[in-house]
Structure formats: structure tokens, C-alpha cells
Amino acid sequence: MSYSTGKIEQNVDHAAAAATVYDAVIVGSGISGAILAHELGRQGFKVLILEAGPGHDLSVSGYQTYLERFYTAISKDNNAPYATNRAAPMPRSGDVRRLRPGLANSDAYLVQNGPLVTDSSYARVVGGTTNHFESKTPRMMPEDFEMSTRHGVGMDWPIRYRDLMPYYNKAEFEIGVSGDVEGQKSLGIEFDPGYVFPMREMPPTYLDRLVARGVDGTRVEVDGESHEIMITTFPQGRNGLPHEGYRPFNNGKDYVPASAVSSHQADMGGRCQGNTNCTPICPVQAKYDARKTLAKALATGNVQLIAQSVASKVRVDFATGRVDRIDYKIYSDPDSAMHTIASVKGRVFILAANAIENARLMLASGLPGRNGLMGRHLMDHPYLLAWGLMPEVAGTMRGTICTSGISSLRSGAFRRTQAAFAVDIHNDGWGWATGAPTTNLLSIVDEMNQFGAGLRAELVSQISRQLLLAFMVELLPEPGNRVTVRPDYVDALGNMRPVLSFSLPDYTMNGIAFARELSRRLFRRLGVEDYSKYDALDPGFVSYHGEGYAVRGGNHLAGTHIMGERADNSVVDRRQRSWEHENLYLAGPGSMPTIGTSNTTLTLAALCYMTAESISSELRNQSI
């Protein structure tokens, strides 16, 4: 069958939910919550999901309203497809302002306490931030799990790469990964013998091939080691051509790509069409988003979803340390502050909001943890952008937003002193850096006075040579990078808003400075005219060793409730279970103690599969 049937809508009322003791109550319907709900629901456990955002049936025509809003929006930021919601506000990159020294900025939902501001965002809608994730799905490098042991920086995970391998396989099945395993192996990532991704790799674009022709084989010296630059494709969570070699990993059957979620048969999204606006929204649903998993979870018949319900307080029985119930605020009008409060009971509670919202909810519930680590070690991938014009027409704007890049500097001895990074070749030109192609259009009209055929020709000539390299730089866990709450910063429903304190350590800045040097070198090799410019008034502007850089947020928000071996240096254990509350799990990117140079979604999905096993065995053994 070439469609995902499913219906996503509220399927229980508040009174019925209040009268039930669920096996598991999950906060958030993003990928973590959807995977856990599906895994528990299909084993017969009764699950309730609380979703802060609206939960209309997202049929194809419902999804189309997201698209129409995005198409007509002036700002094409990550959250452009969604209606403004005062009850469950979300950060938008356009909110970001340069901070006045020493003063927090509380104008927008995310309170920025500095010293740096971040323009990272997340979505509070059904399916969570996977709605606008770019869908790159690289596994983490084995050494990323042992940063302290191997490189003397950061932290070790309580698990190793090999512990996560079987769960990576599961996550790649669920997300529907297209990619080339051989290319990933060449980076030093181990796979099961004979393993291939469910679908063949997304073909590199013409732009990728031009860049590869110019830079492949370039040798880079860093920290006494020589690294060879090679352009390789990224594994991606978008539908491609099923790989027949995957049959042994799928009970002998062909992999069937999961297409558009719809309550009726839509026959769409079975294959990526190469639209370039994967972020923020795939027009055909060929890109994975968590609604695909959520639809399956609801179809088990054991999972209930309550929408427009913002979890507001985790209630703990202080005698036992166990979570007793979760309070939530129900709103009917996203434009109004009117709400009522209800609460829900369960045997197990799982916070699966995201790194920021999980920590915010715990802190707002008065649960900072005895070690005070709740909300600390906030991580993200800061990006440095470098852009220029190729010497020839390069076909920019063709293909998905990114198909290939440089992964050659994701590991190495240099990580003692300097952040690793991965580099994206952006098929969508300078958009992220300059607002192209809109800004090109305006300048051709206003400054060059062109119209009609002249305008079209000039636009094509400017856009089709654009090259943008995005350096995704590692940021290690720092206790000072954190989420807090303060009673004087609340949203329309009276929920405390997240306050972010954020800075980039020298380790990361070393990586950023090195990235800038490398970009210059690569541009020289390619004959690219460098147009990169970092404005001192840019909110993300940072000076380091006499040079200035404009840093962008990566939307890979992680940390805040990191996992560890011991209760004194972490918030959750390897199962993502709270050290202090035995029936509370904090799931998702917040549990990751390091994020290396991998986009976080695949790894957090793998962690959730691992966690689902331990929750179901505990529920079954009545030990909870």
C-alpha cells in the first residue's frame, strides 16, 4: 500500500482521561513521544499523550493549510507554517534581537539571558519539531560516546556506540533513512555485517559534484594530523528508492516508504521530489515527521491523544519521590488566556517535550533536582555560514535542501583542543545567510531597475551560482549553558517561560575559527568569490582572537537532563529514567550528554527505542 492511513485527532475527552489510570502518560507528541507511545501501545499498554498544540485531524488537506500559510508568509522561518498560539507559544528566529550588555531580553517567548543569544527554535504542534527538521540522520561517531576518555574533554555516555547499534537500526527503519552505508563506514562508523539503509542514497546534486570535483582529496593539517577532505552524501530521513539489500533486515520483505499521513487515501509522499524547502516543510510529506509514527501509535487502539493541553506541573509525592500526577491547562482558543486545569494519573510518566520544554516543566514544577543539574548542559550545534559565487552556473536551487557535505573532520586527535564539525553544501543557495532568493529579487528590482525578461535572466544568473557552506560545529556540555525559569516571566496561560543562558566556550570558537579558515581555502580551490560577511550588529555576532563571526543556531537543542552513570553527576540513567523519581522518564535530546557532530534526531530516536524496552519490561513486571 502506498499511503499511511491514520487519523490524528483527539480521541478521548478530559473527563474520561481524568477517570483513567494510564500505564503511561506522555507529555509531547514529537518523535520521542510518538515512538514511546507506539512501542507501548502496540504491546497493549494504555497510553495517554498530552499535546500542547492544536490536534486537528491532519489529513492531507489539513497539512495543506500549513503549506499555504508557509507559502504566503513573509518570513519563511521554521515556524512559519503554524498559526500563532498564545497558549503554547514557540520561539521564532525572527524574534531574536541583539542583547544590550547585562540585560535579558524577554520580548519573545524564549527569554534570552545571554551573553549570547540563540535563534534556535522548536515547534509546539502535533509531531513536534520533526515537522521542520531538515531530516539529516547521521549516526554519532563511536568516539562521541567517550569524549572524556578519548579526548579528555566533555563527558562519557553511560552507554557506548555498540549498545545503541540495534536501536539505531530500529530508528532508521522507522524514520525511513535513505543513504549509503559504505560512505558512513569510511568515516569510522560501524554497522552490522551486510547492513544497508532501508533506501538508496539521495543522489548528489550537480552542485555537490562540482564542489567534489574541486575539493576532493584536499589535505588538511590539524593538530599534527593530516585529514583528507572528501564530499560524501548524508543519510536522510526522506523517501527514496527502497534498497533490495535491506530485505534481510526487514523479514525478507521490500521496505515500503511511509507516505503522507491522511485519514483518507492520499497517495503522496512515497518519494522525495527534490523540492528545496525541506525546512521548514516538505510539500509532499516525503520527509519523515513524527506524525507518521503517531498515526501508527493511535491505530493500535491503546493510545489516546489530548490536544490543546499544556502540561503545567509534575506533582510528586514527597514521601516516596514518585510522580503522582501531571496537571495540565486546557485552552479552547489559541488567542485567549482562558483555560481550565485538569490532571491525569499514570503508572509511568514520560516527559517527551524537548530539551527546553522538559527542563522548563520540571523547573516550573519546583523539581530542580538535588544536584541542581536540571536545565544545565544545554547544547546545540552552532553554525558558521560561508557563502560565495561559483565561477560557473552550478544549478543551485535544485534538489533537496542538502544532499552532501564534508564529514572528514568529524573525528580526530584535534578534538582535545578544538571542536569537530560537519559541513553542509546547501542546495538552496544563500537563503540562510542573506535571505536569498527574495533579497536578490528585491535588489535586482530596486537597485538594477530590471523587470520582465531582464529580471528573470538576472535572477537566474545570480542564484544559480550561489554556494553556501554551513559548518555545524560541536558544542560540549557546559554547566553554565542552561535553561532556568523565573516567576516574573510567564506566558498567557501563566506557565513560566524558559530563560536561556548561553555562551560558546573557546573549544567551540577554535572550531569556528578553523572552519572559517577552511572555507577560505576551499573557496580558493573552487575559484569561488567569497561574499561572506559577518555584521557586528548581527544578534549572533561573536569576536574571537580579533576576528568576528555571525553564529546561527542549529535547532539541535539537547542536554538539560543529561544521562550518566551516577545520580550525583546526571539527571537520568541510561534508560532515561529520573534518578530521583522512579516512575518518571525524561526522554529525548535532553538526555544526551554530548551530541558530537550529528543531527540529534536519529540518536534520540534510538534512545527512545532502548527506553521503550525498559519501560515495557518494568510495566510488565509490575515493578512500577
Partner 1 sequence: MSLRPIQSIETLREYLYAAIQLEHATIPTYLTTLYSIHPGTNLDAVQVLRVVAVEEMLHMTLSANMLNAVGGKVDLTQIGFVPGFPTYLPNGETDFQVNRERFSPEALETFLMIERPARPEEHGKGLIKDEGRRVSILPTPTSEEGSDLHFYSIGEFYHAIQVGMEHLCEEFGEAKIFCGDGARQVTPEYYYSGGGEITAVYNLATAREAIRMISEQGEGYEGAIADFEDEISHYYRFDQLKKGRYYMPGDAHDQPTGEPLNVNWEAVYPVKTNLRMSDLPEGTEVREAALEFNKVYKQFLASLTVAFDGQPQCLIPAVGGMFRIKELAAQLIKNPIPGGDGLHAAPTFEMETV
Binding residues for partner 1 (CB under 8 A) = 1-3, 57, 59-61, 64-65, 68, 71, 241-242, 259, 263-271, 273-274
- Which 3-state string (H, E, C) describes 339-401? CEEEEEEEEEEEECCCHHHHHHHHHHCCCCCCCCCCCECCECCCEEEEEEECCCCCCCCCCCC
* 3-state secondary structure (DSSP) of residue 86: coil
Long-range contacts of 517-525 (CB under 8 A, 24+ apart): 518/220, 518/409, 518/471, 519/384, 519/386, 519/469, 519/471, 520/386, 521/218, 521/220, 522/214, 522/215, 522/218, 522/229, 522/469, 523/386, 523/388, 525/214, 525/215, 525/218
The answer to whether 375 and 572 are in contact (CB under 8 A) is no
Residue 438 region by backbone torsions, left for phi larger than 0, else alpha for psi between -120 and 50, else beta:
alpha
Helices 600-620 and 31-42 cross at an angle (nearest 10°) of 30
Nearer to partner 1, 33 or 240 (CB): 240
Q: Which residues of 533-549 are buried (b: 16+ CB within 10 A; e: fewer)?
A: ebeeebbbbbeeeeeeb
Angstrom CA distances, 346 to 10, 332, 422, 585, stand at: 19, 25, 42, 12
Any bridge partners for residue 111, and if so which? 499
- For 611, residues 6+ apart whose C-beta sits below 8 A from its C-beta are 36, 575, 576, 577, 585, 587
The answer to whether 592 and 617 are in contact (CB under 8 A) is no
Closest to 178 (Cα-Cα) out of 262, 86, 270, 295:
270
Q: How far is the CB of 273 from partner 1 (least distance, A)?
A: 6
Angstrom CA distances, 531 to 59, 388, 458, 514, stand at: 43, 5, 18, 18
Secondary structure E strands in 199-339: 219-222, 225-228, 231-233, 261-262, 303-306, 309-316, 323-330
The answer to whether 595 and 155 are in contact (CB under 8 A) is no
- Which 3-state string (H, E, C) describes 410-469? CCCHHHHCCCCEEEEEECCCCHHHHCCCHHHHHHHHHCCCCCHHHHHHHHHHHHCCEEEE
The answer to whether 90 and 79 are in contact (CB under 8 A) is yes
The Cα 542–Cα 544 span in angstroms is: 7
DSSP state of 520: H
Please state whether beta strands 340-351 and 323-330 pair in parallel, antiparallel, or not at all (unpaired): antiparallel
